[in-house]
Amino acid sequence: MPTLVRHAAVVVDPAVPSCEWRLSEAGREAARALALPNGAVLTSPEPKARETAELAGLAAVVDERLREVSRPWSDDYVAEVERWFAGEAPEGWERREDALTRLSGALDGFDGVAVSHGLAISLYAGLSFDEWRALPFPAVVTC
């Protein structure tokens, strides 16, 4: 069973695609403080996930399937996430079924640490919208 790690806190910049965001100073400190099990490690290709793994002292292999759920920028992100959790498909969002298929391809049968993102982790672990909202940066979820 995988141990899923949500990346540490980032610097949010609407002018930069979220898949390119970097960790904040507080995020870098939190990533350094993570205590994770030894063994195989996978990470999303996004810089915030790769940085989290590296600062946690993990030698991770990048797996494209661990990227965050694809979506456009939104000024009402939380409301759109709630709709997505409810099974709706906000315009431009990756379908839940497609995201779960790619995540399952990477994580089913994997017994190690996987550094990924809040929506991806929540979908794979079967978390609710409220559980997603409660996830800190970083967060550790054991499936």
Mean pLDDT by 10 residues, the chain (143 residues): 97 94 98 96 98 98 98 94 95 97 98 98 98 98 92
Report which secondary-structure segment, H or E, holds 134.
Answer: helix 129-134
CA distance 87 to 22: 30
Whole-number pLDDT of residue 79: 97
Asked whether the whole model's pTM tops 0.95, one would answer: yes
